[in-house]
Structure 1
């Protein structure tokens, strides 16, 4: 996803990285480390110390970036949500008929999640245990995804927009079950399976 999410340590000794680059690297490594530990231990059992050990970042540096564990998890969630939104938006904005654009957007969504298993699980599964703030953000992300799809496809009626919302909800549910099972291959395979179902439905209801 984001290059700053690398979990590798910064170079020892003299290096050419600016202060801003060092801070961005630390922040990214902390978010990725937190996501990985949450996947392994669960949100409740994960501590800031776990993330520090995994990211090889000092406690002082952690609190320069985040107020607490929840803030780090929320930041990681927002990073994934932003990246996914950018990829979906670009796919929907490209040329082609509605189904071609939907297929590209679906592919972009699935690939973004399959590329980063720990972040994908945080995004779709473990965020449920991370408190009310993430619950609100998750609902907002799903709503925004449906609205983005509706806007890019020119959906104007209530039925058209509801169809977009139903599509997003169904895909999220299908992907979540496969992420829980740890089957990233099945996540990627959903593209063809979902489109086989969506195309005849779309063609049967031209008013959508």
Structure 2
């Protein structure tokens, strides 16, 4: 690529100099991810180009390709980081000393707040990620496993056990999470307000995770 050639090394523009290997790679990676997120919010992922990303990140194409193989790889990284942040946010929002049903509400409300705070990223999960092939499938599996681990960890406390709830089997967690994810996805796709599903999502989660009904 010409931006990294010897011919231009002595007269790099500020954006090119900003992306040299001497700089903190983590900081530039984050700037690129932020640039992609801003472009998705403004124009959608399909209309976003690498040029849009580097312009918003105030860096160069050379720096972009030092971090990502292409636009799709940048999206995968953005969504992976976003998922990790959602898991951290949900976990931090739950008070382990609260009644178990209150904890369920805290977790669901935190998840929905996350979806509301970045609707364009939520749409990218739904509309754009599935088209990325094996990389998308790998990320979806990674995301599900991280959520399953989160649910099992949150439900494995004295408060839950004292009410005969938990530990949560993996299969049950997958069923719950898949249903909640689909509910959020269809609501966003249909142009609805994600906050409107809070009560039904809380009720369903309590029903799935709660103590088993007594035998007849």
TM-score with structure 1 length normalisation? Answer: 0.72
Cα 1:25/1:123, change in 2 over 3 Å = farther
Cα deviation for residue 171 of structure 1 reads 0.8
Structure 1: stretches of 5+ with no match in the other structure? 1-18
Aligned length: 184
The match for 1:196 among 186, 197, 203 is 203
The more displaced of 70-79 and 161-170 is 161-170
Q: How far apart in 2 are the matches of 1:156 and 1:199?
A: 14
Query: Deviation digits for residues 77-136 of structure 1, max 9, x if unmatched?
Result: 111011011112223463222221121111111112211222222234321112311211
Task: Tell me which structure has the larger Cα radius of gyration.
Answer: 2
RMSD of aligned Cα (Å): 3.0
Equivalent-residue separation in structure 2 for 1:51 and 1:41 (angstroms): 12
Correspondence for 1:141: 143
Structure 1 residues 92 and 124, CA gap change in structure 2 (3 angstroms): farther
Q: Which residue of 1 aligns with 2:86?
A: 84
- 1:200 deviates by 5.0
Deviation at 1:139, TM superposition (A): 1.9
Give distance in 2, aligned partners of 1:38 and 1:114. 15
How far does the alpha carbon of each residue in 1:36-66 deviate from its partner, in whole angstroms, 9 at most, with x for none? 54574554x6431232234443212212332
**Which residue of structure 2 aligns with residue 53 of structure 1?**
55
Gaps of 5+ in 2: 1-22, 157-165
Report the Cα offset of residue 157 of structure 1.
6.3
Q: Which residue of the partner structure matches residue 106 of structure 2?
A: 104
Q: Which residue in 2 is equivalent to 1:121?
A: 123
Residue 72 (str. 1) matches residue 74 (str. 2) = yes
Alignment partners' CA distance in 1, 2:34 and 2:88: 19
Q: 1:164 to 1:41 in 2, by over 3 A?
A: closer
Change (3 A) 1:165 1:192: same
